[in-house]
């Protein structure tokens, strides 16, 4: 048997709790809180305790989906990005840049949040930027 503890940080919210992922024979089997983590000191909320489950969930989205009639169909990343970009451009041209708003997430890194607000302001031309931490 090959048992490993992999240190990492919770991806669910901005608190930054740390824990170890338990890996047995290459399979993710559990989560253990880091007792010396400066943020959580050995504690986790229910989301953190169960964080390993989403990784292998059959319900996890692994590719982009586009609505086609009543259904959502898997498409390539190129197709999804082209569709999103063309719709944003069309809406911007028809209704103006302030008809678009961006909502970012505590699950993103500071760098990703910075890039999104930069894209909103410099790319699209709107200051309509908010963050889930304010909701």
If binding is defined by CB under 6 A, does position 87 make contact with ligand SF4? no
Give the number of residues written for the chain.
Answer: 135
Residues with Cβ within 8 Å of residue 60, at least 6 apart in sequence: 54
Member of 34, 37, 44, 52 binding ligand SF4 (CB under 6 A): 44
If binding is defined by CB under 6 A, does position 45 make contact with ligand SF4? yes
SS3 84: helix
Contact 121, 129 (CB under 8 A): yes
How far apart (Å, rounded) are the C-alpha atoms in residues 133 and 98? 22
If binding is defined by CB under 6 A, does position 48 make contact with ligand SF4? yes
If binding is defined by CB under 6 A, does position 12 make contact with ligand SF4? yes
Nearer to ligand SF4, 33 or 124 (CB): 33
Stretch that binds ligand SF4, among 5-13, 62-70, 109-117, 126-134 (CB under 6 A): 5-13
């Amino acid at each position: 048997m090959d048992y490993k503890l992999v240190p990492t940080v919770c991806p669910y919210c901005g608190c930054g709790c740390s824990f170890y992922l338990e890996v047995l024979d290459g399979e993710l089997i559990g989560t253990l809180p880091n007792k010396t983590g400066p943020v959580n000191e050995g504690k986790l909320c229910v989301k953190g305790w169960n964080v390993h489950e989403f990784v292998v969930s059959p319900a996890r989205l692994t590719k982009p989906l586009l609505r086609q009639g009543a259904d959502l169909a898997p498409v390539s990343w190129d197709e999804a990005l082209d569709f999103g970009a063309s719709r944003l451009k069309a809406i911007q041209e028809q209704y103006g840049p302030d008809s678009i708003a961006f909502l970012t997430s505590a699950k993103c890194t500071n760098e990703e949040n910075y890039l999104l607000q930069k894209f909103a302001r410099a790319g699209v031309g709107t200051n309509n930027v908010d963050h889930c931490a304010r909701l």
